[in-house]
């Protein structure tokens, strides 16, 4: 589980980090298959740069121009469906929340049993939600379902990500990094350093090549062809 802590009061942030560390140790001892990763932020900007990687957010903003509620709604407007816990301390804006915000309340000072309940709920939400892929284009980041992705091809130092409805975004990352983020999707496969493709977009394979449904052909090794054919059969 990936957890984001966004609190602008350093003492509160550190205290929650300590509580999460102790909880993670207990939970890992009971179930080593579910690791916990905690990333802390003192302001919203870094958090909003990559919000889709997290399964749970703890938020308490007291001294910025944006309020905790506004940050939560900005996350929801971006398409974030992960669990969010508002952690009010000196300023309690929880009365402004609506059911549409879909937010848990975890008041400070945080009690261990209440924190454990939030973590249990977040795990359940993470198991039930349909995963989406965040495509980080140069001008925008979009969140898409697996079936909306067609393929990504290397274009110099960039990659071009092709989506349904003739959408294409140029992204400043490698195929390898992009493919690693696609590993959670059964039907998306990284063929080589040149191509990541949705298996259903493969029209045919040949000796050292793969042809997609839009007619584009990629030269790949014979070994990569065999691996791709095996992945398609899975």
Domains defined for the chain, CATH in brackets: 2-128 (3.40.50.2300), 133-233 (2.40.50.1020)
Answer whether 58's CB lies under 8 Å from 22's CB: no
In a 3-state reduction of DSSP, which class is residue 86? strand
pLDDT of residue 126: 83
Q: What is the CA radius of gyration of the chain?
A: 21
pLDDT at residue 152, rounded to an integer = 98
CA distances from 32 to 24, 36, 53, 99, 126 (A): 10, 10, 20, 34, 17
pLDDT at 181: 85
**What b/e string do you get for 176-197 counting C-beta neighbours within 10 Å, with b at 16 or more?**
eebbebbeebebbbbbbebbbb
Please tell me the predicted confidence (pLDDT) of residue 215: 95
* Residue-level pLDDT at 34: 83
19 within 8 A of 13, measured Cβ to Cβ: no
Residue 164: what are its φ and ψ, rounded to 5°?
-65, 165
- What's the pLDDT at 180? 87
Residues of the chain with pLDDT under 50: none
Identify any residues that bridge with 204 across adjacent strands, giving them in sequence order.
211
Q: What is the pLDDT of residues 188-215, one digit of tens each?
A: 999 999 999 999 999 999 999 999 999 9
Residue 106: the pLDDT is 97
Predicted structure pTM score:
0.60
pLDDT at 189: 96
pLDDT at 68: 95
Which stretch of DSSP H or E encloses residue 210? strand 209-212
pLDDT tens-digit series, residues 130-140: 778 889 899 88
């Amino acid at each position: 589980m990936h957890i984001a802590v966004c609190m602008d009061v350093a003492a509160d942030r550190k205290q929650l980090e300590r509580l999460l560390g102790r909880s993670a140790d207990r939970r890992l001892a009971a179930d080593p298959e579910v690791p916990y990763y905690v990333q802390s932020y003192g302001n919203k900007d870094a958090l909003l740069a990559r919000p889709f990687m997290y399964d749970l957010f703890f938020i308490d903003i007291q001294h910025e121009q944006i309020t905790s509620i506004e940050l939560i709604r900005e996350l929801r407007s971006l398409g974030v469906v992960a669990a969010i816990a508002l952690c009010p301390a000196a300023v309690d804006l929880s009365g402004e929340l609506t059911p549409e915000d879909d937010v848990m309340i975890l008041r400070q000072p945080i009690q261990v049993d209440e924190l454990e309940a939030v973590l249990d709920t977040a795990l359940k939400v993470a198991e039930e939600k349909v995963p989406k892929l965040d495509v980080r284009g140069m001008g925008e980041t979009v969140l898409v379902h697996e079936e909306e992705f067609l393929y990504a091809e290397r274009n110099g130092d960039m990659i071009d990500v092709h989506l349904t409805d003739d959408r294409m975004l140029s992204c400043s990352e490698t195929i390898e990094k992009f493919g690693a983020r696609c590993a959670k999707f059964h039907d998306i496969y990284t063929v080589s350093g040149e191509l990541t493709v949705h298996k259903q977009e493969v029209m045919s394979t040949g000796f050292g090549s793969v042809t997609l449904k839009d007619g584009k052909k990629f030269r790949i090794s014979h070994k990569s062809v065999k691996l791709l054919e095996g992945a398609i059969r899975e």
